[in-house]
Structure 1
Amino acid sequence: MPVSEICNREVVVVERNDTALEAAKLMRQHHVGDVLVVEDRNGIRVPVGIVTDRDLIMEIMAPELDDTVITVGDIMTQELVTVKGSTGIFEAIQYMRQKAVRRLPIVNDSGGLIGILTLDDLLELLSEELLEIAKLVRNEQQKETRSRR
């Protein structure tokens, strides 16, 4: 299954010049732990960075910097790891593990933002799949018990 089928397409985005305070308010408003920094390139929203709640704490709050002056461009992770929407789920999981990231922006062939895949999304998907497998095993056991009576 390609990641484009399971990724969250409602991504909270900011631009490089938005303040850290604006990013924090968006995270709170949308109940998310990150915002993607995007650039408009010929009408295509291209992800260029990411800012997480941890970034805000470590880069601004802990050193007591002014969150109304610092921009997301100042603190964003610039070496953004992305994959195309056609990438398979397990390939994406391996890639996330190799790159040690919890969030993976999904892009189209032009580099435009499609959505984001998070570790939480994957845990939810995999737990649902494991539950279905457990139900299959239970049903098979019940079927065998009924047939031997």
Structure 2
Amino acid sequence: MIIKDWMTKDVITVDPETSMMRAAKLMKEKGIRRLPVVDDKGKIVGMLSDRDVKEASPSKATTLDVHELYYLLSEIKVKNIMSPNPLTILDTDTVVKCAAIMHDKKISGLPVLNEQGELVGIMTQNEVYRVLLSITGIYHGGIQIGLKLPDQRGTLKEVLDCLRGHKARVISILTSYDKVEEGYRQVFLRVMDMEKSVLNELKKELSEKYDLMFWVRDSIN
């Protein structure tokens, strides 16, 4: 899946000279936790997070009076507290690549640029979650099946042939080589719900032919 199809396109931004107080108010009003910082040429020069604002805010134990505090907050600029030269990603990159960067770098959002280097969107954990939900098909409910299969050509086809024999409709197929011994892979399938008797027959056949790790009726409704 490509980022440009999933990113948030209407990006709220601030410029480096915006006051911290104004940026904090904007994040609160819009219900967001990060703001790309762009210069007068539209080039991204930093990222401001709610954590940056909190760390720069005076302690509750400050001895400043309200007027001094208001003046201090109005004088602190975004450029003084933002994270400069932020990591970015292209709108033609994959969502999986974006998720890997966010995970490895321990960041919760990435500005998205086009090939011309222009800011065209933002990817956050929320967008990544939406993709995960989409590719797993959880909103379609049904049955999720976990199998451990030999990592050999044709093994998945055999499973699909078995499903086809029971007229099962496949919603999604995912595979993983993590947490399994060498020479095997885990396959996770989601199928549409069917009559109980048909499901019982399918489960019985899968259990007899393969290493059935789990069989779960899976729905958020």
**Could you state the TM-score of these two structures normalised by the residue count of structure 2?**
0.59
Residue segments in structure 2 that go unaligned for 5+ positions in a row: 63-68, 143-170, 172-189, 202-221
1:90 to 86, 90, 96: 96
Provide closer, same or farther for how the CA distance between residues 40 and 143 of structure 1 changes in structure 2, counting only shifts above 3 A: farther
Secondary structure of the residue that 2:84 maps to in structure 1?
coil
Structure 1 residue 22 corresponds to structure 2 residue 22: yes
- The structure whose RCO (Cα within 8 Å, separation 6+) is larger is 1
Structure 1 residue 145 corresponds to structure 2 residue 197: yes
Deviation digits for residues 82-130 of structure 1 (CA, Å, limit 9, x no counterpart) = 0110000111111112222111000011211010000122123312432
Structure 1 residue 74 corresponds to structure 2 residue 74: no
Structure-1 separation of matches of 2:198 and 2:115: 53
Provide closer, same or farther for how the CA distance between residues 11 and 62 of structure 1 changes in structure 2, counting only shifts above 3 A: farther
Structure-2 separation of matches of 1:60 and 1:129: 41
| Higher fraction of helix | 1
Structure-2 separation of matches of 1:105 and 1:62: 30
C-alpha deviation, 1:46, in angstroms: 1.8
Deviation digits for residues 11-40 of structure 1 (CA, Å, limit 9, x no counterpart) = 110000010011011111211111110013
In structure 1, the residue matched to 2:36 is 36
Amino acid at match of 1:101: I
Structure 1 residue 57 corresponds to structure 2 residue 54: yes
In structure 2, the residue matched to 1:112 is 118
- Give RMSD over aligned pairs: 2.3
Secondary structure of the residue that 1:14 maps to in structure 2?
coil
Amino acid at match of 2:87: V
Structure-1 separation of matches of 2:139 and 2:9: 25
Provide closer, same or farther for how the CA distance between residues 10 and 61 of structure 1 changes in structure 2, counting only shifts above 3 A: farther
In structure 1, the residue matched to 2:182 is none
Structure-1 separation of matches of 2:140 and 2:96: 18
**Could you state the TM-score of these two structures normalised by the residue count of structure 1?**
0.85
Structure 1 residue 101 corresponds to structure 2 residue 107: yes
Residue segments in structure 1 that go unaligned for 5+ positions in a row: none
Amino acid at match of 1:38: V
Amino acid at match of 1:95: I
Q: Say if 2:7 and 2:123, in contact at 8 Å, map to a contact too.
A: yes
Provide closer, same or farther for how the CA distance between residues 62 and 5 of structure 1 changes in structure 2, counting only shifts above 3 A: farther
**Structure label with greater radius of gyration:** 2
